[in-house]
Amino acid sequence: MERFRGYVPGILRHPVGGGLATIAIIAVVILFVGTEILSSDFLEDVDLQQSQQISHLSETLHYSGILSGDRSSAREKLRELADTPTFDRFIRQAIFGLNIARLDLYDLDGNRLYSTDTVSSPEPVGDNTSFIEARRGLTTSEVQNDALISDATGQTRTTDVLATYGLIEDRAPDDPRGGRPLAVISIYGEIGGSLDSIRTTIWYIVGVFFGGLAIIFFVVYRVSEASRKRLQDANDLLQQQYTAVKESRERMLDADEAAKRAIAEELHGTVQTKLYAVWMKLGAAAQDIRDSAAHQDQIVDAIATEVDNIREEDIRQLSHRLHPGIVRVGALAGLRSLRDYYEQLIPVELNIGPEAEALEQAGISEIPEKLRLAAYRTAELALGNVLKHARASSAAIGWDYLPDEAELVLTISDDGLGFDETNASTAAHATGIGLTTINDYAEALGGSLDISSRPGEGTRVTVRFPYQQAGSDDSGGGTITEEAPTGGSAEPASAVQGLAHNAGSLAGESGSD
């Protein structure tokens, strides 16, 4: 019982429950309406049968000779015959086998002349509506509840009956000459048991219907609940797999950045140190040659300068591109460095929101280093796309923090060619691998990517990273410092000047990266 009670709330909330409840309401309506319709049809049938029986009895009374003779004395003769045993036997024989529970004969004033019921006291029916209608020649019926009925043995009972009143004339019903009113006969057909049987049958049918409906619903409910449970389990498994893929993608990005950082540190450290040692040796050799031979020192100085340029420009810039150490300082510093780099190729405007700027006040960045790096990489890839595909005359970088939405928002826009977002092939060509990687960065950190573009109106890339300022756990903030330009060093006038210049550059790199 307790287990069944547990199903009830679920059944009531089940989608199929509403439909089945509607069917149940319809079934209840059918129960009551159907009962009334069937009962009405049954009463009409009984009324028709009893009307035919009244006509049959009228013919029998005339053709048997009981009512034959002078029409003027027919009423008196009928009144006299009604009290005789002969008339009683005749009536009982006439109705034998018919479904008649009681028969009464009344004069035109409503006084009872004869009745098969020998127990009840005679009561006048002159005021009865059905009697009045019958006296006018209209056969009429009415239902009487709890009417007293007695059988031939004198046993009485009360039951519901249908009383049909009909007129008996002084000529037979089929006589074309017509007749005058003679008496009113009423036949009572017992209907209580039949009506109860009809109602009981309908209740049984509706009960079986409801029982079958309940069984069907219970089976459907159990099957659908089992399907829902399997679907929920599959959804949970899919969610777990999605989480695992997301974590795997994040680990891949972390591993990629770690590999780039290792390569950058190798270039910045070991390779650059070895080149620096070679440069030192070339400087010493240049000094020896300068002391012993004329003009040879210029060749060595040129070699030293070339080595220094390779170390300073190529290797250092490559290491910065592999892993931008500037993001350790802050997101703003990283975006400014990108702006400065790409401004050599295309005008770039940098717009910093006050909320974002407030996150990196007093030389401390509150933004986790992973988000700073993602913003840097996103801006770098987007600006790279602008240069490769957009044919733009200018670009803009936007960086802001929305506290209400708990989001860091990065936008990169251009005034280039743009593309048709509704054209799949054009959009796929325009987005390319760069924006796919941007999407990977955004999804790995739980963010989103939105691309808005129209042909001839440029493109706008918006990346949103979830970030809650309060309670952010980040220890990667660093002091914001301005880096000295590291584009290309001036050619040293001598080996000693070159040595001092590179020593200073190396010291500056180790302090800023």
Per-residue confidence (pLDDT) for residue 165, from 0 to 100: 94
Q: How far apart are CA 184 and CA 180, in angstroms?
A: 12
Which tokens sit at 282? 């070339």
User: How far is 511 from 490, CA to CA, in rounded Å?
Assistant: 21
How far is 186 from 140, CA to CA, in rounded Å? 9
**Domains identified in the chain and CATH numbers:** 7-190 (3.30.450.20), 330-480 (3.30.565.10)
Instruction: List residues bridging with 490 in a β-sheet.
Output: none
Please give the pLDDT value at position 7.
Answer: 52
Contact 412, 418 (CB under 8 A): no
Q: What percent of the chain has pLDDT over 70?
A: 74
Quote the crossing angle between the two packed helices 331-342 and 369-385, to the nearest 10°.
20
Ranges of the chain with pLDDT below 50: 1, 4, 6, 472-513
Q: How far apart are CA 486 and CA 321, in angstroms?
A: 13
Assign residue 69 a region (left: φ > 0; alpha: ψ between -120 and 50; beta: otherwise).
Answer: left
pLDDT of residue 426: 57
CB atoms within 10 A of CB 47: 19
Within 13 Å and on the Cβ side, how many CA atoms surround 315? 22
Instruction: Summarize pLDDT for 239-282 with one digit per residue, the tens.
Output: 888 887 777 667 777 766 666 666 766 666 666 677 777 777 77
Nearest Cα to Cα of residue 360 among 331, 335, 403: 331
List Cα–Cα distances, 98 to 46, 93, 194, 398, in angstroms: 11, 10, 15, 103
**Assigned token pair, 1:** 């019982």
67-83: pLDDT as tens digits: 766 667 778 888 888 88
Strand partners, 166: 185
* Spatial CA neighbour of 435 closest among 461, 413, 400: 461
